Amino acid sequence: MKDGLSEKSMDKLVAVSRKYGSDPDYVLAGGGNTSWKENGVMAVKASGTELGNITSKGFVRLDLDKLQYIRTKKYPEDRAEREEMALEDLMNSRLSGEEGRPSVESLLHAIIPEKIVVHTHPALVNGLTCSVKGAEKAEELFPGRSLWIPLVDPGYILAKTVDDELVKWASSHNGRQPDYIFLANHGVFLWGNDLDEIDRKSENLFEVLKGSVTDPSPVVTDNGAEVSEDLLEKVGSLAGKEGKALFTTGPEIRELLGTKESAAPLLNSLSPDHIVYMGHTPLVYNDIPDDKLFPQIEKDYQEFTEKWGMEPKSILVLGKGIISIGNSMKSAELARLLMLDAIRVIRISKSFGGPEFMSEEKVNFINTWEVEKYRAKQSG
C-alpha cells in the first residue's frame, strides 16, 4: 500500500508552505497551494486551509496513478457535469483514510513532474497576469522561460489546458520546461526538485518584476476620512448576527474613489480570489450623510442578495473610502484584504498596459461553481 512522504519530506513541505504562506507579498488568506510528490503519492494542500500556519494535517495525500487517470479520461462537454465528475474522481484519488478535500488545483500540481510545486497569487505577479499586455510582457521579462495561459475555466479545463500547452511549449523549446507558468487573471506556478530551486526561482521572479514596475508597494491606509460607528454597526448587522463592517481609507484609495469614473475599475473582477473574498462587484455611493446613506445601503443590500443569490461584500463611498462586510470578523477582514490587494494589482498593472478584467461569463462561472462556494464558506 502507498503511504507517501517520509517524515523529513513532510517537514520540508510544511516549511516551504509556511515560508511563502506567511509572506503577505506572496499569499493572502486561504490563497495559494503547495505540493510534494514522492513514492507515487502527492501530498497537496487541502482546500480552505491557510498555508501560513499549515501543519502536516493540512495536506491531503493523493494517489498519482489515479490522478494520471483523470488526466487521460474523457469528460462530458457540459460544464456542470464535467466539473462534478472531475471533482468526484479527484476525491476518489485520495489514499484511504484521507478525509480532507484536496485543493481544486491538485490536478495542475500533478501535471508538473517535479517534486515540489508552489502556486501563489502575489499582487506583484497579478499586476502582470491581470494586465492588457501580460502575455507579451511575460515573454519580454522572462524570455524563453515562461508559459502564459490565457483565462480559461478553472478546475479541470485549466489543468487540461496547462497539460496541453506544456507539451507544446517543450516541443518549441528543445524539450525544456519553462521556469514559470503564468495564469491570466489568477497567479503563478513554479517548481523544483529541492527547496533551493524554489527559493531561487521565487527570488528571480520578484526581482525581475520589481525592476519593471513603477510602484509595487502595498496600499497605504490612514484615518483621513471616516464613517460613523453607528453606520458600520448597522451595515454589519445586515450580514447576520455575527456580521461585521470595516471602514478603510488612505490617500491612494481616496484618489481612486474620487469620481465614479476613476472608481470604475473596482466594479470589475481581477481573479477568482477577489470574487470569492471581496465579491464580484461592490455597491457604490456618493458621499452623503451617514443617516441618509444607511437606508440606501439596506435597500440595495437586499436587492443585490436577491439578484445574485449572495450578499455584497464591499461598498465604495466615493471620495471617502471602502466598507468591507462579512458574516464574521474574519470574512470582513478578508473582504478588506482582497480589496487592498485589488487596488495594488490595478496600480501595478499600469506598468503593463493597464488592468485586464475577467469577462462576465467567467465571473458567473466562479460565482456559481460549487468548488468556490465551498472555499467562500470555509472563510466565513
C-alpha grid cell, residue 232: 458600520
Min. distance of Cβ 90 from Zn ion in angstroms?
A: 15
Min. distance of Cβ 372 from Zn ion in angstroms?
A: 11
Q: Where are the beta strands (DSSP E) in 200-277?
A: 244-248
**Helices 64-72 and 79-92, packing angle to 10 deg:** 160
Using CB under 5 A as the binding rule, the residues of this chain from 133 to 192 that contact Zn ion are 187
Using CB under 5 A as the binding rule, the residues of this chain from 17 to 46 that contact Zn ion are none
How would you classify the pairing of strands 283-285 and 244-248? unpaired
Nearer to Zn ion, 126 or 248 (CB): 126
**Which candidate, 120, 119, 117, 115, places its Cα nearest to that of 41?**
115
Min. distance of Cβ 176 from Zn ion in angstroms?
A: 24
How many residues sit in the footprint of Zn ion (CB under 5 A)? 1
Q: Which residues contact 91 (CB under 8 A, 6 or more apart)?
A: 101, 102
Site track for Zn ion across 273-312, x = CB under 5 A: ----------------------------------------
Nearer to Zn ion, 45 or 320 (CB): 45
Nearer to Zn ion, 159 or 231 (CB): 159
Min. distance of Cβ 309 from Zn ion in angstroms?
A: 24
How far out from the chain centre does Cα 104 lie?
Answer: 12
Distances (CA, A) of 367 to 235, 276, 284, 328, 360: 23, 8, 20, 20, 10
Gap between the Cα atoms of 150 and 141, Å rounded: 17
Gap between the Cα atoms of 191 and 119, Å rounded: 9
Min. distance of Cβ 105 from Zn ion in angstroms?
A: 5
Min. distance of Cβ 31 from Zn ion in angstroms?
A: 7
Nearer to Zn ion, 187 or 250 (CB): 187
Min. distance of Cβ 34 from Zn ion in angstroms?
A: 11
Nearer to Zn ion, 246 or 363 (CB): 363
Nearer to Zn ion, 290 or 372 (CB): 372
CB atoms within 10 A of CB 149: 19
Q: Which residue is nearest to Zn ion (CB)?
A: 187
Nearer to Zn ion, 205 or 256 (CB): 205
**Helices 7-21 and 195-211, packing angle to 10 deg:** 10
Gap between the Cα atoms of 137 and 127, Å rounded: 11
Do the Cβ atoms of 34 and 119 come closer than 8 Å? yes
Using CB under 5 A as the binding rule, the residues of this chain from 185 to 224 that contact Zn ion are 187
Nearer to Zn ion, 105 or 290 (CB): 105
Min. distance of Cβ 185 from Zn ion in angstroms?
A: 10
**Which candidate, 188, 346, 182, 326, places its Cα nearest to that of 244?**
326
Which 8-state DSSP code applies to residue 336?
Answer: H
Residue numbers of the site for Zn ion (CB under 5 A)? 187
